[in-house]
């Protein structure tokens, strides 16, 4: 697997790698991790760290090291996570004769970040994806809407849809967040988890705290370039008692921290195909933990949450609208508890990883088992 970032906290990569390793595949992940993560959950998965080290004398060193390392592994399948790994994955697949799998976590050319690229760079990214996706043996997208669009925009057969649903069982509620952040037992905790970046309503969430009761605390769990700005905003508005920050935690510990909150919040500015059709992973993390979801995002995911009565819509993406939604979700205790039960039920019946794991294993089996094909050298567990 190729991942152009650290693996720390990347749940999709972990779930796919863990599923394949448990099925008997020999899985290696090449990533930009600064140091290896020895957590037990990754046992049996080979993590190879190649951090980017700019070199004036050898500007292509990073790509060269990446390709050289991959060739030494003699891979049978190269699984490229997102467009920013697809180029070197394609080259390496050609050099080694490996099958190529392209796994797009979003619509990479229409995220809020790439939409701000200069026109020439956006054109290059679209051209690159269309060219290389056609040369992959298998293509994966995380939501049905993007799979349908890929047929037209990329000129390929409809990709396999493998949704980014949580893995495991319901986690019992606990006091981890309260203990580590010194939050009173009687306080209500609203959790935001994920990358701290612009266009996710984070400034507005902070400023909404001025309009909510003193016994409601906002917790930001994650890292990102926007984190320092948010900290400064909290200090300048004297909100330190009601806004707390935690760094990204491991995929093992994350569900425990999530289950320490009372509600989850997700806000996306609807812009580009990713946010129009996307299903933010954090929504399903919240549901699994029994957290009612306060949501303002694309129409598909909004409709799913509201119709399941597993959360409430944030009507306006401003501090006043967010504050109103937070006050409303905690206004009636009986209604709040019903939202919690609905959240767990919705995750268990519709949005769990077990169904997606089966699709991933079928995809790999299709690559590995054509009649009489001696291509694969990896020993696969026949029981899977």
240 and 327 fall within a common domain: yes
pLDDT computed for residue 377 by the predictor: 46
212 and 266 fall within a common domain: yes
pLDDT computed for residue 38 by the predictor: 55
195 and 327 fall within a common domain: yes
Residue 373 inside a domain? The answer is no
155 and 263 fall within a common domain: no
pLDDT computed for residue 59 by the predictor: 63
Question: What distance in Å separates the CA atoms of residue 83 and residue 107, rounded to the nearest whole number?
Answer: 9
94 and 182 fall within a common domain: no
341 and 208 fall within a common domain: yes
pLDDT computed for residue 371 by the predictor: 47
Q: Which of 373, 368, 370 is nearest to 381 (CA)?
A: 368
Q: The whole model's pTM is what? A: 0.84
12 and 148 fall within a common domain: yes
pLDDT computed for residue 380 by the predictor: 43
Question: What distance in Å separates the CA atoms of residue 267 and residue 213, rounded to the nearest whole number?
Answer: 21
Question: What distance in Å separates the CA atoms of residue 303 and residue 288, rounded to the nearest whole number?
Answer: 18
346 and 363 fall within a common domain: no
Residue 380 inside a domain? The answer is no
Residue 94 inside a domain? The answer is yes
Mean pLDDT by 10 residues, the chain (384 residues): 83 93 95 67 87 69 89 96 94 96 92 85 94 96 93 94 89 92 95 90 96 96 93 97 91 87 94 85 92 94 93 95 97 96 92 93 86 46 43
Q: Provide the 10 A C-beta neighbour count for residue 201.
A: 23
The number of domains in the chain is: 2
Residue 105 inside a domain? The answer is yes
pLDDT computed for residue 381 by the predictor: 45
Residue 382 inside a domain? The answer is no
Residue 379 inside a domain? The answer is no
Residue 383 inside a domain? The answer is no
190 and 131 fall within a common domain: no
Question: What distance in Å separates the CA atoms of residue 96 and residue 114, rounded to the nearest whole number?
Answer: 31
Q: Ramachandran region of residue 224, left (φ > 0), alpha (ψ -120 to 50) or beta?
A: left
87 and 235 fall within a common domain: no
pLDDT computed for residue 171 by the predictor: 83
Q: Could you tell me the residue range of the domain that residue 331 belongs to? A: 176-350
335 and 247 fall within a common domain: yes
CATH number where 152 lies: 3.40.50.2000
122 and 180 fall within a common domain: no
Any residues with CB less than 8 A from the CB of 372 and at least 6 apart, and which? Answer: none
Residue 257 inside a domain? The answer is yes
């Amino acid at each position: 697997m190729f991942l152009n970032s650290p693996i720390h906290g990347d749940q999709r990569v972990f779930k796919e790698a863990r599923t394949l390793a448990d099925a008997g595949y020999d899985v290696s992940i090449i990533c930009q991790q600064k140091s290896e993560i020895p957590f037990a959950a990754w046992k049996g998965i080979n993590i190879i760290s190649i951090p980017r080290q700019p070199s004036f004398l050898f500007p292509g060193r990073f790509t060269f090291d990446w390709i050289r390392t991959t060739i030494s592994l003699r891979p049978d399948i190269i699984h490229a996570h997102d467009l920013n790994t697809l180029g070197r994955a394609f080259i390496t697949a050609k050099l080694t004769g490996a099958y190529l799998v392209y796994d797009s976590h979003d619509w990479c050319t229409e995220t809020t970040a790439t939409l701000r690229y200069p026109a020439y760079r956006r054109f290059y990214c679209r051209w690159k994806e269309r060219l290389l996706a056609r040369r992959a043996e298998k293509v994966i997208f995380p939501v049905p809407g993007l799979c349908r669009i890929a047929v037209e925009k990329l000129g390929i057969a409809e990709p396999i849809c493998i949704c980014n649903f949580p893995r495991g069982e319901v986690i019992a509620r606990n006091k981890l967040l309260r203990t580590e952040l010194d939050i009173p037992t009687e306080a209500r905790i609203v959790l935001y988890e994920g990358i701290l970046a612009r266009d996710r309503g984070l400034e507005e969430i902070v400023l909404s705290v001025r309009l909510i009761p003193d016994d409601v605390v906002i917790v930001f769990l994650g890292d990102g370039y926007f984190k320092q700005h948010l900290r400064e905003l909290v200090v300048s508005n004297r909100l330190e008692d009601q806004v707390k920050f935690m760094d990204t935690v491991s995929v093992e510990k994350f569900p425990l921290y999530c289950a320490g909150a009372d509600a989850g919040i997700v806000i996306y500015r609807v812009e580009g195909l990713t946010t129009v059709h996307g299903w933010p992973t954090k929504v399903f993390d919240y549901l699994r933990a029994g957290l009612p979801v306060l949501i303002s995002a694309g129409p598909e995911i909004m409709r799913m949450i509201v119709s399941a009565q597993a959360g409430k819509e944030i009507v306006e993406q401003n501090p006043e609208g967010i504050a109103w939604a937070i006050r409303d979700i905690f206004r009636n205790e009986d209604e709040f508890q019903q939202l919690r039960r609905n959240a767990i039920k919705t995750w268990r019946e519709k949005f769990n990883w077990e169904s997606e794991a089966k699709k991933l294993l079928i995809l790999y089996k299709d690559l590995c088992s054509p009649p009489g094909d001696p291509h694969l050298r990896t020993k696969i567990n026949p029981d899977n």
